[in-house]
Amino acid sequence: MDRRGMDRLSGLDASFLYLETPAQLMHVCAVLVVDPSTMPQPYSFPGFQSALDTRVRGLPTFLRKIRGVPLGLDHPVWVEDRNFDIERHVHRLALPSPGGYAELMELAAHFTSLPLDRSRPLWDMWVIEGYRPESAAGEERLAVLIKTHHATVDGVSGANLLSHLCALEPDAEFLPADEPPLSGDPSRGALLGRAVVDTVTKPLNLVRVVKPSVSFIANTIGRAYRGTAMAAPFSAPRTAFNGLVTGRRAIALADMSLDEIKEVKRESGATVNDVVLTIAGGALRAYLEERGELPETSLMAAVPVSVRAASHRATGSNKVSALFCKLGTDLGDPLDRLRLLAERNRYAKEHHDAIGADTLQDWAEFAAPRTFGLAVRAYAGLRLPEKHPVVHNLVISNVPGPPMPLYFMGARIEGLYPLGPVYHGSGLNITVMSNAGRVHVGAIACRRSVPDVEALALHFPRELERLRKRVAEESAAD
């Protein structure tokens, strides 16, 4: 809650609302695969929905909706939805026959292609019955698709929010939440008064954020001269997924062993994140090479970085920055790629740490609701993503998850696949999350840009195996 008693969206949170268009949807999703046989009571959708209703009523994030400021003079505020109805958020579906992975991906892609209703709390959930994954030897599982607007969560806060719907045992108590209660619905006059005050004080705030930004620019110039700067944006090669996006999505999922990734980490001296990015670089190389579309220079990823621990801001759902990383797709040897990425990532992290933790959030406060939205539409309407140099090729996120098994409404989670948004100019998003010894990969793309995202996802476990073999060969040779 801010100093005037209103739950105002931070500039960064609000920016995800302003960025949204019918083609550029700004929600984040997760596909959960759960085993209903572990539930203390036999699964029934009415019982599941009722239990979830009881739980979310103790979590204010699930009960709040946005209210705009008159004339769009300031960022919106969160207010309680006094007409909250669980039936408008939690829905029941059944997979068509034969109820396999392909049918699940088709259904999930359809629902991730639909915008959220801004007149209600910004989340939806579909409980999908009749899923028969190959790994379950024909036994039925539930798949749960959760969709939440990026204005509400980032990667870390989204994982934390999901944890409050989970427990460590099928019949255990839920993890407690420490969310503050929602404030009352402010009057039109109060909203206008706050907007005027914020508008008057913005020039003073601008002075505060310019100084550290100038310092960072000077630091960047010095690092570039020494060869220790992170990869520069606008220097990525163009690929098929670096143009305008449509509203249609394609989804694919993959699994890897966390123990095998940690084995590579130990043997190579790299970090888990280095290994994950190396695997992603290899998968992208193989995917593009199969299509005769592999650029001569390396692809570059934007990698979101949580600044939650270092942030001085008490409010705001999104506390994130980003660094840029070249993925070594121009290198055929996975071990050479890992060594190069380990060095580059060390420089990139040092360079990123020179940026103030709240810099992106501070600058986002100056995003004007109306002009920001118009700029986004003009950017797409003029087809600028297809004309200017490529900023980055894709987004890759690595979100650490709980090391122990979790139970969602009593059902054991067997798969937890996160899915981020895609943007004009960057029509592919890969998010990786670990849970209970597995690493779950969620790939989502503009269907027109990456029509066969499944082929890309299949390369992830293959690239891990290739990397393991090269590391083992190197260790044996020493």
Active site residue 150: yes
Asked if residue 178 and residue 111 are part of one domain, the reply reads yes
274: in domain: yes
Last residue of a domain, one of 164, 190, 216: 190
What confidence score (pLDDT) does residue 212 get? Answer: 57
| CATH code of 240's domain | 3.30.559.30
108: in domain: yes
The neighbour count for residue 381, using CB atoms within 10 Å, is 9
What confidence score (pLDDT) does residue 9 get? Answer: 86
What confidence score (pLDDT) does residue 455 get? Answer: 97
Domain that holds residue 137: 7-190
Helix (H) or strand (E) holding 166: strand 166-167
Give 300's strand partners: 326
Asked if residue 439 and residue 351 are part of one domain, the reply reads yes
415: in domain: no
Asked if residue 240 and residue 340 are part of one domain, the reply reads yes
Q: pTM score, two decimals? A: 0.89
Asked if residue 296 and residue 159 are part of one domain, the reply reads no
Q: Answer yes or no: are the C-beta atoms of 427 and 242 closer than 8 Å.
A: yes
Asked if residue 277 and residue 130 are part of one domain, the reply reads no
Residue ranges of the chain whose pLDDT lies below 50: 1-5
Q: Answer yes or no: are the C-beta atoms of 314 and 358 closer than 8 Å.
A: no
199: in domain: no
Q: Which residue has 């100093």 as its token pair? A: 3
Q: Answer yes or no: are the C-beta atoms of 160 and 175 closer than 8 Å.
A: no
Cα separation of 304 and 16, whole Å?
15
Q: Answer yes or no: are the C-beta atoms of 170 and 38 closer than 8 Å.
A: yes
Asked if residue 149 and residue 98 are part of one domain, the reply reads yes
Asked if residue 390 and residue 272 are part of one domain, the reply reads yes
Cα separation of 441 and 433, whole Å?
7
409: in domain: no
Asked if residue 432 and residue 301 are part of one domain, the reply reads yes
Asked if residue 145 and residue 34 are part of one domain, the reply reads yes
What confidence score (pLDDT) does residue 202 get? Answer: 58
The CA–CA distances, whole Å, from 239 to 288, 389, 390, 425, 444 equal 9, 11, 9, 10, 16
Instruction: Give which of 86, 158, 119, 98 is closest to 418, Cα–Cα.
Output: 158
360: in domain: yes
Query: Which residue in the list 27, 75, 150, 424 is annotated as catalytic?
Result: 150
Last residue of a domain, one of 161, 190, 219: 190
438-446 and 249-257 strand pairing: antiparallel
200: in domain: no
Number of domains present in the structure of the chain: 2
Query: What are 76's two structure tokens?
Result: 């919106």
Asked if residue 246 and residue 143 are part of one domain, the reply reads no
Asked if residue 260 and residue 159 are part of one domain, the reply reads no
Asked if residue 237 and residue 175 are part of one domain, the reply reads no
* pLDDT one-digit tens code per residue, 289-327: 999 999 999 999 999 887 666 555 666 676 677 889 999
| CATH code of 31's domain | 3.30.559.10
268: in domain: yes
Last residue of a domain, one of 142, 161, 190: 190
